[in-house]
Structure 1
Amino acid sequence: MSHRGGLSRGLAEPRDRDRMRSAAAEFYRVTGVPQVMERALNELFSREPEDVHGYLANYFTNLSAPPRISRLKGREVYDARGQLSIQAEVFCIVCNEEKSMSSAAVSSHSGPKETSLDWKAASGVRADHVATALQWINGPLDRMLKGQTPCDQSDVDHLLSDFFMARFLEEKDLRDKEKEEQRSPSEPELPLSSPLSAPTRSKKGADKRKKSIAVEKSLPPAEPPEPVLPGSSAIGSVSLAVAKTAAKVQGIPLYKYIAALKNTTAPAQLHVPLPLVPLLSCGKTSPGKLSLLEEVILIPKAGQRVKQIITMTLELQEEMMRIMNASTKVGATPATPCGGGALAAAYERPEQPLDLIAEACASAGLALGAEVHLALNCAAPELMDCAKGKYEVAPGVLKSPDELVDMYQALISKYPAVVALIDPFGREDIDQWEKLSNVIGDSCSLLSDITFKSKAPPLPGVRGHILKHIHETTVSDLICIASEHQGSVLMGTTCSEPCSEDSWSDIAVGLGLDYVKLGGLSGAERMAKYNRMISIEEELDQQGILVSQVKHPPPLFWDEPAEPPAAAESAS
């Protein structure tokens, strides 16, 4: 078929035929490649699409040069707490025009001890971090990635990581030099005089002190917190924005793009991680005295759809609020969700929140220990007092490591629905991790946060790891860590999530994780993540590539699937 014959058949209007002939003639003249137009028109007229011009536009778009990054743009945004954060936007040249492709923001805070800073100091530190990140994105990172293809995630992330490491080493050298300059010339140190000189002290008092020191065994010295380099959140934000851009260029969802990166090819089947939903917040920021349990987290039964889990959890949460408000004194503030989306509870003992959940489950008709299990985020590293050798589980209430082991053992024995403990001790207290693991056996899983210590040696007894996408963590880093640490749980940072970022759900599905913690069931920024998870689940189901959690049993909390596979097959 010639293109002229096709024109007379495919386009009824003479005006369109003339326009097409003129366009073809101009294309022949400019490019000198008439066979390309011939092939396009032959394919066009054999199909006879309704949108002729749209078809041609798509055809020649596929022949154009692949998109390249033209520039980056950083901007200040606010997270869920109203604190400054950084967002990175990626622009590409597409068909000779610059287009904004995607933007992303990752969580950022000044480090594991940020909660110990006062509000004014924390705001100042954060402002410094954001200002540096803004400078990096609009300056050196923009120049470094210009002309790069967004579809080469490994190459882009390698450049980002090298840039970060160079800045990190520069900062380290600067700090070392400042410390060296601050040191005074070597002089003999004079012992400080004491109110009581040594000869006047009684021998009896000295013996008493020695005895008390021998009894109170100090904890291992705390590992220094990983320094958070100002501006580091620019690295994670740019990496995620580039990944989203690549997915858009390839015309696939972000979760499929990440799954293809992790598995070298797109997997034939995917599963949706089981959401772990925080129910209660009892940590230092809660109104009660109990500091030990930062969160009590619901682990739903495997095999349920995300929408079912959300509905069940909301009903349970309503029942918990009713019980809490009924027992609250007249005139007191009613129970409401805290910053992380979970209910804030004012308790003094760890048994109290667990009793509340047990009562609420009974009222809602949920079988605690069958339909609902629990995980306790202990956040014990924040409670360590190395000098005293104890953990401050509540203001003025100190527990030795052995006493804490006994407490955990008693809780698990009394509440068998508790199947996981997150960070029950500091990482340095290795002996207690091993002791607790030996005591509880397989009845409860121990999980450790590896966000700041991803290269640290594994702790004894740990079956799973908490993974967070913050700071300089790139998409390639997430893939590497999730592959090396089986049983990883992608967990949000409680309440410092960027409001508009719902990529957590795509990342968790793409990484092939069995569990994800997206936050409590309140707040637009958290519900956007749950809504995205529901959409992904529906997409996979419609495409026939969704694997049920019953057929893909999560191995972290149960050794056996929630329902025998044979029964599941017969039921379906």
Structure 2
Amino acid sequence: GVLKAVANVNERIAPKIVGLSAKAQRRIDSIMIDLDGTQNKSNLGANAVLGVSIACARAAASSMKIPLYRYLRNASGIKGADGADSDDKFLIPIPFSNVINGGKHAGSPLKIQEFMIVPTGASSFSEAARMVSETYHALRQKIENRFGRTATNVGDEGGFAPPIQNAEDALNLLESAISECGYSGSIKLAIDSAASEFFLDGKYILDKEYSGEELMDYYLNLAESYPIISFEDPFEQDDFSAFRKFTYKIRAKYGDKVQVVGDDLLVTSIPRLKEGIRRRACTALLLKVNQVGTLSEAFRAAAMAFRHDWNVMVSHRSGETEDSFIADLAVGLGCGQIKLGAPCRGERTSKFNQLIRIEEEIGQEAVYAGSRFAFR
């Protein structure tokens, strides 16, 4: 638990790093990696290791009197990966906002875990946040009108969890809310299936049973019928072959206009990322810093993905806090995409608010990423 993590920081990590410069990010992270000695930080615990890694980054930025996002860009060494016009520009990410929750994030019959709205057509992050918020509230009213007020209860990530059965119901609700707000064409859609959660005995159990091939065709039909620009974890987390085949079909039909994102498939693990790249299983990495354990390892994973022309999406977790670090990280890495949850619940809105503050602080140096991707 937390008390054990605190004890590990004070009793095991501190004696090894006290006295070092907070600016020595990679050295400090390396010391903790060696001290832990496991692949998944199970000895010291990711809570302890990542907490120290992030604390060092914050301390270093403070001592240098520069914003955290600027320090992270310098520390990562991933300059130019953001596609901004120059090193003086900062790419402000497109928010992928999970507004309908299903699967293990909610108590509804909907098996697919997340349905996201993506304001690619905004001119700034502040406008993107407004578009997301307006659509979210329009969606709430539509759900209440159709299912009653109790259906507007929210799931783990702040999205609604209405009693709907399938993806089409969710996507139709989103399309209707987007249209009502006047954002058709400016807000796209994204899906995180978390397919391992409904995979059983070689079959995918949604509103009916699907084989891997049938599920692939189902996704392709959804892409044909709705403006979906991102499919995350469409298949069971160890099925690299299904990911590869689906990615090939998506790229053949849509090119760079639709991405396939690996989360459970890759778990921000360098070995699994290498395997995913080798097998061309995806076109994007979901980057969760608490999975990899230190900032240096997160930097390495992002750099590897960029080198192979993958997209990178910095992500929150279903269990979150009000800490807004990932907002600075997304700007610092220049990845142009961030998964935030709905504009609801303090642990979700804190990231929106931090990105609005960063964009305002940067001013003319800020470039909203909406126009930087070739999404359809």
The one of 217, 236, 243 equivalent to 1:426 is: 236
Instruction: Please tell me whether the aligned partners of residues 303 and 549 of structure 1 are also in contact (alpha carbons under 8 angstroms).
Output: no
Alignment counterpart, residue 389 of structure 1, candidates 197, 202, 216:
202
Q: Is the CA contact (8 Å cut-off) linking 1:419 and 1:445 kept in structure 2?
A: yes
Q: How far apart are the structure 1 equivalents of 2:285 and 2:79?
A: 26
Instruction: Name the Cα RMSD after superposition.
Output: 2.2
Contact 1:234/1:472, CA 8 A, preserved across alignment: no
1:343 aligns with 2:160: yes
Provide the secondary structure at the position in 2 that maps to 1:137: helix
2:55 maps to what in 1?
241
Mapped partners of 2:88, 2:178: distance in 1: 38
What's the secondary structure of 2:206's corresponding residue? strand
Q: Aligned to 1:147, which of 7, 19, 24? A: 19
Alignment of 1:463-542 (within 5 A): 463-470=283-290, 473-486=293-306, 487-494=311-318, 496-499=319-322, 501-541=323-363
1:463 alignment partner AA:
T
**2:151, 2:162 within 8 Å by CA — same for their partners in 1?**
no
**2:249 and 2:88 mapped to 1: Cα distance?**
41
Q: Post-superposition shift, 1:301? A: 1.8
Q: 1:149 & 1:545 partners in 2: Cα distance?
A: 30
Give distance in 2, aligned partners of 1:461 and 1:245: 38
Give the Å deviation of 1:360: 1.5
> Equivalents in 2 of 1:250, 1:159: separation in Å?
23
Q: Pick the structure with more helix per residue.
A: 2
CA displacement at 1:229 relative to structure 2:
4.8
Q: What TM-score do the two structures reach when normalised by structure 1?
A: 0.59
Does residue 406 (structure 1) correspond to residue 223 (structure 2)? The answer is no
Partner of 2:107: 287
Larger radius of gyration: 1
1:214-229 equivalences in 2 (<5 Å): 228-229=42-43
Q: 1:481 to 1:264 in 2, by over 3 A?
A: closer
Q: Distance in 2 between matches of 1:302 and 1:162?
A: 45
Matches within 5 A, 1:61-460: 127=1, 130-165=2-37, 168=38, 228-229=42-43, 231-263=45-77, 267-291=87-111, 293-328=112-147, 333-367=150-184, 370-385=185-200, 388-394=201-207, 397-415=208-226, 417-440=227-250, 441-443=252-254, 444-449=258-263, 450-456=266-272, 457-458=275-276, 459-460=279-280
How many angstroms apart in 2 are the aligned matches of 1:374 and 1:272? Answer: 19
Residues in 2 aligned to 1:528 and 1:263: alpha-carbon distance in whole angstroms = 27
**Structure 2: which amino acid aligns with 1:249?**
S
Structure 1 residue 230, shift from structure 2 partner = 6.2
* Contact 1:235 1:472 (C-alpha < 8 Å) held by counterparts: no
Which amino acid is the alignment partner of residue 183 of structure 2?
L
How far residue 374 of structure 1 moved from its aligned partner, in angstroms, is 0.6
C-alpha displacement of 1:227: 8.4
Within 2, Cα distance between the matches of 1:482 and 1:357? 31
- Secondary structure (helix, strand or coil) at the match of 1:520 reads coil
Unaligned runs of 5+ in 2: 81-86
Distance in 2 of aligned mates of 1:265 and 1:437: 28
CA distance in 1, matches of 2:117, 2:202: 32
Q: Distance in 1 between matches of 2:259 and 2:230?
A: 5
Higher relative CO (CA 8 A, sep ≥ 6), structure 1 or 2?
2
The answer for the alignment partner of 1:18 in structure 2 is none
Seen in structure 2, the aligned counterparts of structure 1 residues 310 and 140 have a Cα distance that, compared at 3 Å, is: same
Match of 2:83 in 1: none
The DSSP-based 3-state class of the residue aligned with 2:52 is: helix
Aligned residue in 2 for 1:213:
none
Percent identity of the aligned residues? 24
Does the 8 Å CA contact 2:269/2:292 hold for their aligned counterparts? no
Q: Unaligned regions of 5+ residues in structure 1, if any?
A: 1-126, 170-225, 559-572
Change (3 A) 1:312 1:302: closer
**CA 1:382/1:242 → structure 2, altered by over 3 Å: closer, same or farther?**
same
What is the letter of the counterpart of residue 138 of structure 1? Answer: N
Residues 522-570 of structure 1 deviation map (CA, whole Å, 9 limit, x = unaligned) = 11222122111111111111xx4223436x6125x35xxxxxxxxxxxx
Q: Label 1:286 to 1:480 Cα distance change in 2 as closer, same or farther (>3 A).
A: same
